[in-house]
Amino acid sequence: MDRNQIKVLIRQMTLEEKAGQVTQLPSRYFAIQGSQLTGTETKLGISEEKKWLCGSILGKLDAVSMRNIQKENLERSRLQIPLMFMTDIVHGYQTIFPVPLAMAGSFDPGMVRECARISAKEGSAAGYQVTFSPMVDVVRDPRWGRVMESFGEDSKLNCDFGKAMVEGYQGENLKDPDRLAACVKHFAAYGAAEGGRDYNTSDVSEFRLRNKYFPPFKACIDAGVKLVMAAFEALNGIPATANPWLLQDILRKDLEFEGTVISDWGAVLELIKHGVAEEEAEAGRLALESGVQIEMATAAIVKHIEVYVKKFPHLEAILDEAVEKVLILKNELGLFEDPYRGVDPEREMRELRSPDKKRAAFHAATESAVLLENNGILPLTKETPVILTGPYAESKNILGPWSVDGIVEDAITVKDGLILKGGRIKEVIQTAYEEVTEQDSDRIVQTVASGDVVVLALGEPELWSGEAGSRSVIELPEHQISLLKKLHEHQIPVVVLLFNGRPLDLRKVKEYADAVLEMWFPGTEGGNAAAALLYGEKNPSGKLAMSFPYGSGQIPVSYDMAPTGRPKADLVQEPRYKSQYLDIPNEPLYSFGYGLSYTEYDVQVNGKIVRQEQEYLVPVKVTNLGNMTGKTVVQIYIGKKKSLVARPVKELVAYKKIELQPGKSKEIVIPIEEKTLERWIPGKGWTKEKGEYTILVSNDGQNFQRMELTVG
């Protein structure tokens, strides 16, 4: 169909049929068993006939059920308008990749593009056409459970990885039946929820919104993302779902989005709870007027559209625009030509969980893990006798939140991984998350003999992060720390593996462990990846995409803080009156960009910065000083000595991951795009300031080589 034919179709539709098209209902209302609740349950209160007017369905599906539902829809649809099927494929469909916060630490958007490509192959084979991904909420508060779903605290990483996922899902042509339309979320600043408490208010300056929170959405829009999901929360006093400034002035005009805006689950009716709507009819009208084009999981608009149009005739034109967006998307997906998009159980069986996809999951897990501490105990030899213990010793619950369709049975446990690698496992003692009995800890200590190493697989239960997974403290359960401390007190060598969805307070872990390997929630191949890293078959190369604070008291903390008028670094007579804590440092325990390797690297500035067209080329020489091949991430940060605004001391503007053989050096040039020098400045808009810039070069986010750059 072309645009004109779509307009003709809209003119043929009744008011109710149009209202149905902007309604999205959970699959459970269409007799699909087992769909997982991802939002508040809401009784619909509409007739069976009106239910079938809905334009799209979200949630649990497979090839057979998709075909059956689409068939019944087409039998019922007067104008033969196909249904669209959407779901949350966030870090894999049935083959699960590490959580996005982990994958951001790979500093390899190309790898994540491939993970999204694979996810699209699996999800589309099951009958889905749209995924509610990527999530690009910039996050600075690890109390918020959804940090695991984000690409971390840095705006540029969220830009790069969000763009890569959109490209991986959508490809060049959405009519390819093994592609998915992407939906970037949650617009906007949902990750700035006050207190890190999910769904809470976000109050963010326009300076930060425009320089930090909006750019990842712009990157996804420029990559062609088809949908944007409005956030749950009230942003600066106005719920995002009923915020014309956000959904029209910013999203449509400034960010130039032309696709479809969808509400979050139940967020339209939640306008009543926010206190900006009296009842459901008003809630639906406010959302529609503000720029929402699909109402997720509730039916306010379709229930009250007749009333709306009588009282507010202008609404029908707004509704027509919304319907047009929805029909254009269905058309781009090729649904008018083939409502089934070639979905069948045979293709589903062939695509899902194939060995090549699991290899990609293994690769992603090894590239995303971060070595935080190592006194030389790692890598282990296969002959090292290992006592494996802790709540994640043989747990398959390593897929992480938002892996609703992941196959837990496929997950490779740490125990599986060590055995498959031919490791010498002396004993496996699985403990609980929150309780290690005296008997268990005594048994562990007594089992250890000289020369043995304990691999202690610790972490949070999956449900302690993810949606509605907010915690007031970011510590491991105390029994886990007690066990680690006891082993330390017995001078037992301990390697800690961590399985968690958020940065944690690791002060005690750092004190008592001989090595700490952050696995995050590594997905289906987690155990194989852990084993390959522990035995040195893979050399850890991941970096942190989010700072690990000195505990909850330091939150929010991120690497790109402003200097303040009393920087702690200042040498002043009176050492008290500076911006500092009396009890802890200002810097996090582990910084953004930090991560060790089994080898050492030397990173040196290698000449002068050269301007070439729209880029500044930063010359760097990297040397692998160790005896193992390894990868490191050279990071380029920028600061401005004098600016019209109080800018962060440093901001990431470029990076490059490179692999080096032992003893080898590489001279590389890392380009800084001129555009990344621009900042949105109140009263001036986007501005590239001239003058002196500081360029900082690092491969660990803590030690820097400094260069000067003058921008004319």
* Chain positions contacting ligand GLC, by CB under 6 A: 38-39, 58, 88, 132, 185, 264-265, 467
Residue recorded with tokens 């600016």: 643
Smallest distance from ligand GLC to CB 524, Å: 21
Smallest distance from ligand GLC to CB 586, Å: 33
Give the separation between CA 529 and CA 67, rounded to whole angstroms: 37
In this complex, which beta carbon is closest to ligand GLC, that of residue 91 or of residue 210? 91
- Helices (H), strands (E): how many in the chain? 21, 26
Angle, helices 155-170 vs 109-125, to 10°: value is 40
In this complex, which beta carbon is closest to ligand GLC, that of residue 39 or of residue 92? 39
In this complex, which beta carbon is closest to ligand GLC, that of residue 265 or of residue 550? 265
> Reduced to 3 states, what is the DSSP secondary structure of residue 333?
coil
What does the H/E/C string look like for 227-277?
EEEECCCEECCEEHHHCHHHHHHHHHHHCCCCCEEECCCCCCCHHHHHCCC
Give the separation between CA 285 and CA 321, rounded to whole angstroms: 14
Tokens of 317: 């034109």
| Polymer length in residues for the chain | 712
Give the separation between CA 222 and CA 85, rounded to whole angstroms: 24
Cβ neighbours for 442, distance < 8 A, ≥ 6 positions apart:
none
- Clarify whether 264 is annotated catalytic: yes
In this complex, which beta carbon is closest to ligand GLC, that of residue 108 or of residue 270? 270
In this complex, which beta carbon is closest to ligand GLC, that of residue 265 or of residue 535? 265
Q: In what order do the strands lie in the sheet with 651-660?
A: 651-660, 630-640, 691-698, 705-711
Sign of CA dihedral 148, 287, 167, 656: negative
In this complex, which beta carbon is closest to ligand GLC, that of residue 198 or of residue 505? 198
Smallest distance from ligand GLC to CB 26, Å: 9
Smallest distance from ligand GLC to CB 232, Å: 6
Smallest distance from ligand GLC to CB 611, Å: 42
Smallest distance from ligand GLC to CB 136, Å: 12
> Reduced to 3 states, what is the DSSP secondary structure of residue 57?
strand
Phi and psi of 670, rounded to 5°? Answer: -105, 120
| Candidate list 198, 264, 505, 700, residue with the active-site label | 264
Smallest distance from ligand GLC to CB 264, Å: 5
CB of 196 closer than 8 Å to CB of 464: no
Q: Read out DSSP for 280-329?
A: HHHHHHHHHHHT--BEES--HHHHHHHHHHHH-TTHHHHHHHHHHHHHHH
Tokens of 120: 């699209």
In this complex, which beta carbon is closest to ligand GLC, that of residue 466 or of residue 522? 466
**Which residues are annotated as catalytic?**
264
